[in-house]
Amino acid sequence: MKEKHRGLAVFTALVFIFLLGPLVIIMATSFGDSTILKFPPEGFSLRWYQNIFDVDMFMETFKVTIVVALIGNLIALLLGVPAAYALSRGEFRGKGLLNSIFISPILIPGVVLGFTMLKYLVVKFDLPIYSSLLIGHVVLMLPFIIRVIASSLSNFDYAIEEASMSLGASRLKTFFTVVLPNIRSGLIAGVLLAFLESFNNVDISVFMTGPGVSTLPIQMLTYVENYFDPTIAAISVLLMVVTGVLMILIERLMGLSYFTKK
C-alpha cells in the first residue's frame, strides 16, 4: 500500500515538473543579464522588464489588446446575457440547435474561425481591420459569456422570478432587481474568463491584424522572429501573473468546476 503511494507521489511530481518546468525556466531566464535567451541565466538584471516599456510596439499593442478585450466583452455581454436568458428560460423550437450554434466557436479550431472571418469580414465586406478584430473577439467571447450565465440561471429557481412578477414587477424589472443580483458572481466570472480568452488569443487575432493594428500576443510572435533577447520571457512572466490573478478571482467567484461540467 505504502509503495503504491510513493509511486503515485513520484508520478504526480513528474507531471507537475512537466507542466510547470517550462514556466519556471522562462521566469528564470527573464531575470538573466545576457542578451540572448539562455538557461541557466547568467547574472541578474531587470533590464528586460525595463525594455518592455521602452519598445513602443509592445505598449501600443497592449493598448489594442486591452481595448478589444474590454469593448468586445461589453458587446458580448449585451448579446450574450439576453441570449443566455432566452436559452435557459424560453420554450421554443430550435432551442437545442441555437444552443449548439452559440457554443460552436469553442469547438471549431481557432485557425478555421480566424481564416473564415478574414475571408468574409475583411476580404468580402471590406471592413476595417480594427472592427474585424473586434468582431472576431466578440465571437470568441460570446460562448463563454453564454455558457457561464446560462449555468448560473439554471441554478436559479424560476419561481422566484414568477414571485416578483406576481408582486407587480414587469419581466424586465424582475431581471434587474431579482435575477441580476443573484447571478452576479457568474456574470463577473464570465466577464473575466472571456477577457482572458481575448487577451491571450493568437489564432483568430493573427488573421485580423495588419498595418498599425496588432495585439500583444501577435506582437510577441513578431518580436521573437527578429530578436532573441529575454524581453519576450519578461513579458511572458507578466502575462502569466495577470492570467493567474484572474483565474484565482474566477475560482473564488464560481469555482472552476463551472466550466468543466456540462
Partner 1 sequence: MELLSLQNISVAYEKNLILENFNLNIEKGELISLLGPSGCGKTTTLRLIAGFLEAKDGKFMFEGKDYTRVPVNKRNFGFVFQSYALFPHMTVFDNVAYGLRLRKANKEEIDKKVHAMLEVVSLQGFEKRYPGELSGGQRQRVAIARALVIQPDLLLFDEPLSNLDANLRVNMRVEIRRIQKQLGITTVYVSHDQEECFSISDKVAIMNKGVIEQLDAPATIYKYPTTEFVARFIGFNNFIAIQQMSQDGAQVSLLGEQGTKIKLVHRSGHPITDSMKAAIRPDDLLVVTDSELADGVGGLTMDELDAGYNVITGKVKISTFLGRSYQYEVETPLGEFTVNREMETAFDHGAQVKLVLPKEKVVLVRTSV
Binding residues (CB under 8 A) for partner 1: these are 157, 159-160, 162-171, 173, 178, 181-182
Classify residue 2 as exposed, middle or buried by CB count within 10 Å of its CB (0-12, 13-18, 19+). exposed
Q: Evaluate the CA torsion angle 96, 101, 106, 109 in order and state its sign.
A: positive
The owner of cell 509511486 is 7
Q: Least distance to partner 1 from the beta carbon of 163, Å?
A: 4
Residues pairing with 213 in the sheet: 210
Between 51 and 182, CB nearer to partner 1: 182
Residue 161 CB, nearest distance to partner 1 (Å)?
A: 8
Report whether 103 contacts 151 (CB < 8 A): no
Nearer to partner 1, 107 or 167 (CB): 167
What is the rounded radius of gyration, in angstroms, for the C-alpha atoms of the chain? 22
Is 124 in contact with 56 (CB distance < 8 Å)? no
The residues, any chain, with a CB within 8 Å of residue 182's CB and separated by 6 or more, are 152, 156, 160
Which residue, 47 or 89, has its beta carbon nearer to partner 1? 89
Query: Minimum distance from CB of 88 to partner 1 (Å)?
Result: 17
> Which helix H or strand E contains 25, and what residues bound it?
helix 2-30
Nearer to partner 1, 106 or 163 (CB): 163
CB of 173 to partner 1, least distance (A): 8
CB of 135 to partner 1, least distance (A): 35
What's the closest the beta carbon of residue 196 comes to partner 1, in angstroms?
Answer: 27
End-to-end CA distance of the chain: 35
User: Residues 127, 103, 81, CA angle at the centre, nearest 5°?
Assistant: 80
Q: Which is nearer to partner 1, 90 or 211 (CB)?
A: 90
For partner 1, give the closer residue by CB, 171 or 252.
171
Q: How far is the CB of 156 from partner 1 (least distance, A)?
A: 9
At CA 145, angle to CA 108 and CA 175, rounded to 5?
145
Nearer residue to partner 1 within complex by CB, 166 or 260: 166
Of 241, 232, 229, which is closest to residue 199 (Cα–Cα)? 241
DSSP string, 134-159: HHHHHHHHHHHHHHHHHHHHHTS-HH
